[in-house]
């Protein structure tokens, strides 16, 4: 293959439970019983997804160790959090921290030999999410949907500095 593109947002912890068929547990995946449970002390995004930065490291190392270390691009990685405009700024500390932690894990995997070629933050702009419409904001640039005005969020300013080699 030329490269493998990976979209990574969270992790799901799965375990076998013989009671699931009897409890008639519901699932978002056809034919797959599912039970949801929260991990103690975990942080969650506005989508209800656990923030688990080591997961991207574990995935990249699995590609290296079990799949002949293909060239990998992280084609989507990001988080939706509630954003508020205050005095013309969007202070999205949780999103910036998300990127800091996930990029640290990507860098760690690359330093240990994973064939990471690139990383793309999801998303440049707040956008229309197919399952959530305009209700969730993933962008590093805030979009006022009524006026189409854009405001670079603090996470976007941080990401620009990072992309230019300033840590």
* 32, part of any domain: no
Quick one: average pLDDT of 11-27? 65
pLDDT at 13: 76
pLDDT at 19: 63
Tally of domains in the chain: 1
Collect all residues with Cβ–Cβ distance below 8 Å to 98 and sequence separation of at least 6: 45, 51, 53, 78, 79, 81
Residue 126 has pLDDT above 80, yes or no: yes
* 38, part of any domain: no
Q: Which domain holds residue 52?
A: 4-13+43-163
pLDDT at 166: 85
- The CATH code of the domain that includes 53 is 3.20.20.80
pLDDT at 4: 98
Residue 25 has pLDDT above 70, yes or no: no
Quick one: average pLDDT of 70-88? 98
* 23, part of any domain: no
* 86, part of any domain: yes
* 152, part of any domain: yes
* 36, part of any domain: no
Quick one: average pLDDT of 81-94? 97
pLDDT at 34: 55
């Amino acid at each position: 293959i030329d490269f493998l593109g990976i979209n990574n947002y969270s992790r799901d912890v799965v375990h076998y439970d013989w009671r699931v068929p009897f409890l008639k547990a519901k699932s978002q995946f056809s034919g797959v019983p599912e039970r949801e449970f929260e991990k103690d002390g975990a942080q969650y995004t506005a989508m209800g997804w656990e923030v688990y930065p080591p997961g991207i490291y574990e995935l990249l190392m699995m590609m290296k160790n079990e799949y002949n270390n293909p060239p990998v691009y992280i084609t989507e990685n990001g988080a939706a959090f509630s954003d508020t405009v205050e005095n013309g700024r969007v202070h999205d500390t949780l999103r910036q921290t998300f990127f800091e932690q996930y990029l640290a894990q990507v860098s760690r995997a690359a330093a240990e030999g994973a064939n990471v070629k690139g990383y793309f933050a999801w998303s440049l702009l707040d956008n229309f999410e197919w399952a959530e419409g305009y209700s969730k904001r993933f962008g590093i640039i805030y979009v006022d949907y009524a006026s189409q005005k854009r405001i670079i969020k603090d996470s976007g300013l941080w990401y620009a500095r990072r992309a230019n080699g300033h840590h």
